[in-house]
Amino acid sequence: MSGVATTPAAADGSRLDVMNFLNEIAGQYPAAVSFASGRPAEQFFRLDEWLGRVPAYVRHEAQQRQCGVAEAFNTLAQYGRTNGIINGLIARQIALDEGIDCPAGQILVTGGCQEALDLLLTGLCRHEDDVVLVRSPCYIGLTGVADMNRIELAPFSCDDTAVAAALRQTVSAVEARGKRPRLLYLVPDFDNPTGAVLTRAVREELIAFCAARAIVIVEDNPYGMFRYEGERVPSMYALDRHGCVVYLGTYSKTICPALRVGYAAVPARMFGDAQAGKVLIDRLSQAKSFVSVNTSQLTQAVVGALLLSEDGSLSRLVAGPRELYRRNRDLMLAHLAATFADLRGQVGWNTPEGGFFLTLTLPFVFKRREAEICANDYGVLVMPLSFFALGDEEDCRVRLAFSNVTPELIADGVARLGRFVRDALRRPGFSSHS
């Protein structure tokens, strides 16, 4: 493997570097097949057409406020409400599409979901003893916010069925150190990076446990509308009767990322207390005014226009992409099965019922160095699960994103991965290089 010599030796680096690695790697290897980033499929973007619907949103606004269209356009172009202007439309959309009942006044529109994560973590963890509970591996956008703000993370690794037990143990350990478990972060539907879905029973167990201990659950759900098969599990926000779940959503996957529109839905009665629900939304709003003033009203108007023309729901809009993602997943599964037919005892993968990712498990440790060899010498970009890990444990797993690749590239990329794995297995002691 010539790549061992030409690839510069690199430690796995801090978690803070990984987001940049993800963002920049496609530019570094333009000829490589990328299974690295969970980007939505571009062939469904209609940005030019969507821009043309903005005037319809403005006419709607003018009607609501009983003013002229020109005035409504100018109000849109101006500074505006910190919490957003399409809150009512968002409340309706998540009611229709996700069965979530949240008053518009408890919704904060954010610059993508990332801003909501930043505001929530920094807003809820103000004391140095406050700790964020996360499953490892964990979405980098969350761990990055914690690291940037020096907020302590308490990670735990466990099977998808044993989350509540692992959480209980982690909370006890955190409390034993005199720290305060403040927040539990979860992607219950088609987790990034693992693709896992939490069962209803697990969700209810987690809610009961966190409600009793005043731990806020942050439910991040970017992929929930992309279920291809199997029975849908209600969101934790919808199951919550205690007011302990804050729900985060984004229009980056369902419409397009360039809008940078996401939101946080805060319970009206936090832990049963209406005052506390108001206090949290107000605190987030105050913080937002110093981070971004308000979310672009132009991009909010694009979302608003689409929601108006779609009768409030995104279900019709996501039908095409969802079908494409299902086909891509099936194709990737078929190519994996064919490529690794003779290695089924050593190479494995899961079959996610939705979302953008599947997880490949190799018979050797796969970290940054191996990812660089794949990119350099085999022309295929993938993300080691170690990038998302919070401990130093060895990890043989690789995240494969299939959301924004063509059938040809899926075939080609899996073949490249196959060549890498075979070469690596032929090289004695390969994994000791990691």
Q: How many residues does the chain have?
A: 434
309 counts as binding a second copy under rule CB under 8 A = no
In order of 100, 151, 184, the CA distances from 245 in angstroms are 11, 20, 9
200 phi-psi bin (left φ>0, alpha ψ -120 to 50, beta other): alpha
Select from 51-59, 230-238, 360-368, 421-429 the region that touches a second copy (CB under 8 A). Answer: 51-59
Copy the structure tokens of residue 187: 């992607």
- Residue of 43, 161, 169, 351 that binds a second copy (CB under 8 A): 43
188 counts as binding a second copy under rule CB under 8 A = no
d(CA 211, CA 269): 12
x/- contact string, 113-152, with a second copy (CB under 8 A)? -xx--x---x------------------x--xx--x----
- Residue of 79, 176, 345, 426 that binds a second copy (CB under 8 A): 79
Q: Report the first-to-last Cα separation within the chain, whole angstroms.
A: 15
293 counts as binding a second copy under rule CB under 8 A = yes
Beta carbon nearer to a second copy, 35 or 420: 35
Report, in Å, the least distance between residue 49 CB and a second copy. Answer: 10
16 counts as binding a second copy under rule CB under 8 A = yes
- The H or E element containing residue 358 is strand 357-361
- The residue count for binding a second copy (CB under 8 A) is 59
82 counts as binding a second copy under rule CB under 8 A = yes
28 counts as binding a second copy under rule CB under 8 A = no
Report, in Å, the least distance between residue 59 CB and a second copy. Answer: 11
112 counts as binding a second copy under rule CB under 8 A = yes
Report, in Å, the least distance between residue 344 CB and a second copy. Answer: 35
- CB count within 10 Å of CB 68 equals 10
298 counts as binding a second copy under rule CB under 8 A = yes
| DSSP code per residue over 72-106 | HHHHHHS---TT-S-HHHHHHHHHHHH-----GGG
66 counts as binding a second copy under rule CB under 8 A = no
x/- contact string, 357-396, with a second copy (CB under 8 A)? ----------------------------------------
- Residue of 6, 10, 23, 319 that binds a second copy (CB under 8 A): 23
Select from 79-87, 94-102, 163-171, 336-344 the region that touches a second copy (CB under 8 A). Answer: 79-87
d(CA 134, CA 138): 7
Report, in Å, the least distance between residue 143 CB and a second copy. Answer: 9
Nearest to 434 by CA among 350, 376, 363: 363
Largest CA-CA distance found in the chain, in angstroms, rounded: 75
Sign of the CA dihedral running 281, 287, 291, 292? positive
- Residue of 1, 54, 95, 214 that binds a second copy (CB under 8 A): 54
- The H or E element containing residue 184 is strand 180-186
Task: Give every CB contact of residue 245 below 8 A, 6+ residues apart in sequence.
Answer: 207, 216, 217, 218, 219, 236, 237, 239, 267
Nearest to 102 by CA among 111, 92, 116, 110: 92
Task: Give every CB contact of residue 216 below 8 A, 6+ residues apart in sequence.
Answer: 124, 182, 183, 184, 210, 244, 245, 246, 270
287 counts as binding a second copy under rule CB under 8 A = yes
- Residue of 132, 196, 302, 375 that binds a second copy (CB under 8 A): 302
Beta carbon nearer to a second copy, 48 or 231: 48
Reduced to 3 states (helix: H, G, I; strand: E, B; else coil), residue 3 is: helix
201 counts as binding a second copy under rule CB under 8 A = no
Beta carbon nearer to a second copy, 26 or 96: 26
**Which positions touch a second copy (CB under 8 A)?**
16-17, 19-20, 23, 27, 37, 39-40, 42-43, 45, 47-48, 51, 54-55, 58, 73-82, 111-112, 114-115, 118, 122, 141, 144-145, 148, 252, 256-260, 285-287, 289-299, 302
